[in-house]
Structure 1
Amino acid sequence: MAPAITLAADKLSAANTGFMLICSALVLIMTPGLAFFYGGMVRVKSTLNMLMMSFISMGIVTILWVLYGFSMAFGTDHGSIIGWESDFVGWTGIDKADIWSGYTIPVFVFAVFQMMFAIITPALISGAIADRVKFTAWSIFVVLWATIVYFPVAHWVWGTGGWAFELGVIDFAGGTAVHINAGAAALGVILVIGKRVGFKKDPMRPHSMPLVMLGAGLLWFGWFGFNAGSWLGNDDGVGPLMFVNTQIATAAAMIAWLAYEKIRHGAFTTLGAASGAVAGLVAITPSGGAVSPMGAIAVGVIAGVACAAAVGLKYKFGYDDSLDVVGVHLVGGVVGSLLIGFFASGKGQSDVEGLFYGGGLDQFWKQCAGVFAVLGYSLVVSAILAFLLDKTIGMRVSEDEEISGIDQAEHAETAYDFSGAGGGAARNAVPAGAGADSKKVDA
């Protein structure tokens, strides 16, 4: 992503403006896609809660982004750490005719495109804490995390003057700012709030693989806007290169994950196909503008195997990452970001060459700086935020509520109505005085 922070009276391109509006819509649809992906992976009794944890991010972060988030991320740099621009506060100083400096799209278009990135990043975290977090506590966490973690990190990576941007760390569309950021936050939070009741004892299988596949398909579809749109136009061929590499790496990662799964566990699973595709999407996000199509295959294969191997670490080390956010997003983001140091061809978004193209290890060390700074900051701050919330309002629902179902406890609803299934009125009648829980589904 190529950022700027000043307004300029450049010429507006109707083609690039329209393209970026479409890309913004594509990125937005990724959040409902993520909701379905996560919603299908949990048990029946947590389905609605998972959907809501993504959807509430669409509401909260939109307002924060308009009020001050865009200013913090893309305003005038202060100390290479944070941005601030009074015209961006509440978007009161932005005119519809203002053009983003160095580009041919309006400031409003750039701002709303970036808004969609800000929305999905905290939503990614929610998969790690499925089944057990109060909805109010989660909503407050989103407010605090977006403000203290995401907005500053976005400035580091993409804002002119941000330390990682000035260092030359390459992150085309969010390997560090989005995926490592969210994955590290997920790890920090789950280390504080602890495991689900029955972790490693009770079966916690996905309740709906069709929902998982629908969500994965929507993510794959929307990711083309996420990645190709991050070049902010189509004037030099870099956006199309990223589009092509997105498809290639995703396909390679899906195949690699399935192959690993077959060798390791003896079967090609549907969940493996969906997770492998997402791993490829994550890994190519930072690197796709810098590598060739053959490099994209390498990135996808390495990410597919690495993420497939990583998802089992939670059982080895005892942390309960419910839906493998750490294994896929953190590990995939790290792999994709670091591989730029090896596979950057010098013929994409810049002339930077990786080790395998004669460029030595200079870029690799820059990538390491960006990766581990974001990882460490997000991990520590997220754990502190979770700890403070847990000690004040409490992060977790009660054990009884977790066992009976967080959907009923937090939302007074269930995802599926089974009362009409099976037979006639007599067969489905509920005895007088019986509550809504008198007919429970094994979840």
Structure 2
Amino acid sequence: MFIFKSIGFIYPVAAHWVATKNGWLHQLGFDDFAFSGVVHAMSGATCLIAAYMTGPRLDRSFDGRKLPPHSQMILGAFIFLFGMVAFNAGSQGSISQPGDGFVIIAKVAINTPICAMTSAATALIYQRFIVDRLKKNWNYTSGINGSFVGMVAICAGCNQFQYWGAFALHTGLLINAGGGIVIML
């Protein structure tokens, strides 16, 4: 019932604010590439509420089965990365006519993995030297989670950043460093 209410009533209202010309965020000039800001904000709020409602996980299994091996986690992360690049680039819609946005698609296809890798590196370094400095080991799951945060953080504005902006200090690195550190907290 909760998901039905979220999908049927809450998300359409938020999408209307951005997607239509008379939506108040659209009128303020809010630029949300592929409506990813709306999708991620609504998904995050829904997941937060669902996590609160279900409570903490009591064991490390799911329906009596053990969690998947680590190699499957890494494979899933790479599949998600390639899917996210394709989704972001495909959100431009068309490149068949002059002026359709081939340059924007190139920016999106370059910025998405750069942000993912910058955030993964930030999360790995933060985990290794701040969180687990006494253990002196690297935790690849921090890198995977950091890459997810980087892709989500850049998604709404990936068409606005310059090619170098996904890694530069005053644009992408601040987003990625913040996202990479937040995932570790």
* TM-score, normalised via structure 2 length: 0.78
Native 8 Å contact 1:261 1:308 kept in 2: no
Cα 1:267–1:181, aligned 2, differ >3 Å: closer, same or farther? farther
**How far off its partner does 1:263 sit?**
1.0
Native 8 Å contact 2:119 2:180 kept in 1: no
Partner of 1:272: 142
Which residue, out of 166, 169, 173, partners 1:301?
173
Write the letter of the residue equivalent to 2:109: F
RMSD, matched Cα: 2.4
Partner of 1:179: 40
Three-state SS of the structure 1 residue aligned to 2:167 is helix
Q: Distance in 2 between matches of 1:215 and 1:208?
A: 11
Q: Distance in 2 between matches of 1:241 and 1:311?
A: 25
Cα 1:155–1:260, aligned 2, differ >3 Å: closer, same or farther? same
Q: Distance in 1 between matches of 2:68 and 2:50?
A: 24
Q: Distance in 1 between matches of 2:159 and 2:138?
A: 31
Partner of 2:157: 287
Native 8 Å contact 2:124 2:138 kept in 1: yes
Cα 1:267–1:174, aligned 2, differ >3 Å: closer, same or farther? farther
Three-state SS of the structure 2 residue aligned to 1:310 is helix
Q: Distance in 2 between matches of 1:228 and 1:207?
A: 30
What is the aligned-residue identity percentage?
A: 27
Cα 1:256–1:270, aligned 2, differ >3 Å: closer, same or farther? same
Q: Distance in 2 between matches of 1:185 and 1:141?
A: 9
Partner of 2:63: none
Which residue, out of 224, 229, 250, partners 2:116?
250
Cα 1:259–1:178, aligned 2, differ >3 Å: closer, same or farther? same
Deviation beyond 4 Å, 4+ runs, structure 1: none
Write the letter of the residue equivalent to 2:48: L
Q: Distance in 2 between matches of 1:154 and 1:182?
A: 12
Write the letter of the residue equivalent to 1:307: G
Partner of 2:85: 224
- Structure 1's unaligned 5+ residue stretches are 1-139, 200-204, 314-443
**How far off its partner does 1:245 sit?**
1.2
Write the letter of the residue equivalent to 1:176: G
Write the letter of the residue equivalent to 2:77: A
Alignment map for 1:5-16 (pairs within 5 Å): none
Partner of 2:105: 239
Q: Distance in 2 between matches of 1:269 and 1:304?
A: 18
**How far off its partner does 1:194 sit?**
2.8
Instruction: Deviation per CA, 1:214-247: give whole Å up to 9, x if none.
Output: 2111111111222112222222322221112112
Alignment map for 1:365-376 (pairs within 5 Å): none
Native 8 Å contact 1:250 1:300 kept in 2: no
Write the letter of the residue equivalent to 2:40: H
Q: Distance in 2 between matches of 1:286 and 1:176?
A: 5
* TM-score, normalised via structure 1 length: 0.35
Structure of higher CA gyration radius: 1
Alignment map for 1:2-401 (pairs within 5 Å): 140-197=1-58, 207-234=68-95, 235-236=100-101, 237-264=103-130, 265=132, 266-298=136-168, 299-313=171-185
Write the letter of the residue equivalent to 1:268: W
Cα 1:206–1:259, aligned 2, differ >3 Å: closer, same or farther? farther
Instruction: Deviation per CA, 1:174-196: give whole Å up to 9, x if none.
Output: 44211122112222233334333
Q: Distance in 1 between matches of 2:110 and 2:147?
A: 15
Native 8 Å contact 2:115 2:151 kept in 1: yes
Q: Distance in 2 between matches of 1:211 and 1:160?
A: 43
Three-state SS of the structure 1 residue aligned to 2:33 is coil
**How far off its partner does 1:281 sit?**
0.8
**How far off its partner does 1:253 sit?**
1.4
Cα 1:206–1:260, aligned 2, differ >3 Å: closer, same or farther? farther
Instruction: Deviation per CA, 1:378-435: give whole Å up to 9, x if none.
Output: xxxxxxxxxxxxxxxxxxxxxxxxxxxxxxxxxxxxxxxxxxxxxxxxxxxxxxxxxx
Write the letter of the residue equivalent to 1:277: S
**How far off its partner does 1:312 sit?**
4.8
Q: For this pair of structures, how many residues does the alignment match?
A: 169
Native 8 Å contact 1:276 1:308 kept in 2: yes
Q: Distance in 2 between matches of 1:162 and 1:275?
A: 33
